[in-house]
A and B are shown apart, each in its own frame.
Chain A
Amino acid sequence: MNLFGFALGNLYRRPARSSLTIAAISLGVASIVALTSIAWGFEASWQRANDARGTDLIVTRIASENAMPSPFLADKLQATLKGYPHVQEVVGLLSEMLSVGDNAPPVFVFGWEYRSYLWQHLRLIDGHLPANDTDADIVLGSLAAELLHKKVGDSVEIEGRQFLIRGIFDSPAVVENGAVVMTLTLAQQITDKPGKVNILNIKLDDHASDSVIDDFKTRVRETLPGYLAITSGELVRKNAVVRISKAMSNATTLIASLVGALVVFNTMLMSINERTREIGLLLALGWQRQTIVKLIVSESVVLSLAGGLAGILIGIAIAGGLEHVELMRGKIEAVFSMPFLIAILGLSVVLGVAGGLYPALKAARMLPSQALRQE
């Protein structure tokens, strides 16, 4: 038996308390893992959607902080931007979250300019893309088709208007897989936003360098008051939903960490109070005070690490489960990274040390003769 074996034995002999402490920590860690992975997934999914479309820059309203930037009239601005150097295409995009059919959860509806480059990254699984700008034809992401129980040739009702499903596609981004895509003209009609877009996608030619992108941004800032040219990554980070979800995940991390440390602190404090005579005995046997500290901190770190590991597994399960909840499907995606999971385990160790340090120091400061007299 060594110090670590003795510490494990001490936890094993109080199974109910050890299990409850591990459960409390694991729930906190699970909430961190689930919320953070979804926040990251949300960001990553929108980033992938923008990247997959091949957009180099996005022009949007400068003050827009919504999930999708506020709509604006595009015609004049679009014409101006087309005159900028190296610009190949300027394509409007309108997006809304709409109910499709009866009793179906709302889905993203994207309106893309007909025949623009935005359509090119979609991989058609079945059917065709819309044949023209005005016919009431749409294409569905594979996940949206599954959610709505629709196939090519079926029709769906959106905002009181019937649309024919012309095709079903796959996209690298989960937000597009869970979406309905139609032409911009149709999207403007059904949302009563004629001529308006949320963003203008800019595709530059192959000769455009980083300095061209910087010049473009500067020119928009200086000559188009109220508008902003940013990269898709900057747009995603500016997105209010991404920012709120990240803030929530940070707040959860902070609260769960505090609660976790307090749970460990309480458990270890109760434990050393119950073991006063035992600690007095160990001191009388010649255990050095730092060995007592190591023992108590080892116990608290084992508890918090076990809670951390269980919490990671529960968090992954919760996030995975939320991805498949009907209301959430196609809108959220959990992203886990090994560095993040290792950081969570590191956080668990920190919680263990933080929660166990004071009880450990208190135990180490005991006077052996007094501790041995304790009933």
Chain B
Amino acid sequence: MVRIENVALHFDDGKTTALNGISATVEEGEFVAIVGPSGCGKSSLLNVIGTLERPTTGEVYFRCQPYSNIADASLFRRQHFGFIFQSFHLIPTLSALDNVVVATIGCPGPAREHTQRARQLLAQLGLRDRIDHFPRTMSGGERQRVAIARALINNPDLILADEPTGSLDSVSTEQVLGVISEIRQQRGITIVVVTHDPEVSGRADRVVSMRDGKIEPGKEYRQ
């Protein structure tokens, strides 16, 4: 599904290197965990895969389509990717429902249908009674489930999750991991997760270890 070829990512006019010649692949339906110490480039790699960052050199392909040929990265993201962030990134003044619906604004189709789908997703994620609640009144686990519903609302092919349990306690972590496992089973969505959490990486099909902007040779393993 995703092929990464010799990707480098530099910041500050080349003074800082986030990714240093990465090559990797992600197969359709696979659950890949990227692990490694802080600052090793995990999130940068996730951003490059998700078209949030443009690589300085190298090329990324999604189903054989090179990213350098994508005319509208925003539209491409909407059509193919769903993002989950460590700090949820919910809009505090919107209800749980509207936080999900906001991802559909500008999408084709009637708004009523988008809202209906958001309600169904939230109900599936166990938030039927919390639909009209605002993020400040919800627990960390509930907030992350809202964020997962938002990531799923546009039927993505690939979920990109950056430390999805990083801000959660053990109970909430278990809830969120349960939800992610269910999504995989029901929808067969490909998932790439950046994590420090062995609980998360333990559920992945494959674990990729990174250090200093590179994939550590010999430390990639299948489970």
Contact = CB atoms under 8 A, between A and B. Distances in A.
Nearest to A371: B52
A286 B78 contact: yes
Nearest to A290: B106
Task: Tell which of A277, A282, A283 has the most Cβ of chain B within 10 Å.
Answer: A282
Interface string B62-74: 0000000000101
Contacts of B102: 1, 6, 282, 285
A13 interface: yes
Contacts of A2: 105, 111
A367 B111 CA distance: 27
B72 A288 contact: yes
A291 B106 contact: yes
Interface in B29-86: 47, 50, 52-53, 72, 74-75, 77-79, 81, 83, 85
Contacts of B75: 286, 288
Contact of B106 (A1, A3, A13): A3
17 contacts: A1-B101, A3-B106, A6-B102, A9-B98, A285-B77, A285-B102, A286-B74, A286-B75, A286-B77, A286-B154, A287-B105, A287-B106, A288-B75, A288-B78, A369-B53, A372-B85, A372-B89
B79 A286 contact: yes
Nearest to B11: A370
B150 interface: yes
Given A1-B105, A368-B52, A284 B94 contact: no
Interface residues of B, number: 27
Query: Which among B78, B85, B102 has the highest number of chain A CB atoms within 10 Å?
Result: B102
Interface of A: 1-3, 6, 9-10, 12-13, 277-278, 281-289, 291, 367-369, 372
For the complex of A and B, 7 pairs with smallest distance between CB atoms: A286-B78, A369-B52, A291-B106, A13-B93, A286-B77, A285-B103, A288-B74
B120 interface: no
Interface string B137-166: 000000000000010001000000000000
Interface in B141-193: 150, 154
A285 B93 contact: no
B123 interface: no
Contacts of B52: 284, 367-369, 372
Nearest to B81: A286
A9 B94 contact: yes
A130 to B, nearest CB: 74
Given A291-B105, A291-B106, A368-B52, A285 B115 contact: no
A10 B93 CA distance: 8
A282 to B, nearest CB: 7
B24 interface: no
A287 B85 CA distance: 17
B89 A281 contact: yes
Given A285-B150, A291-B105, A277 B89 contact: yes
Contacts of A12: 93
Contacts of A9: 93-94, 98
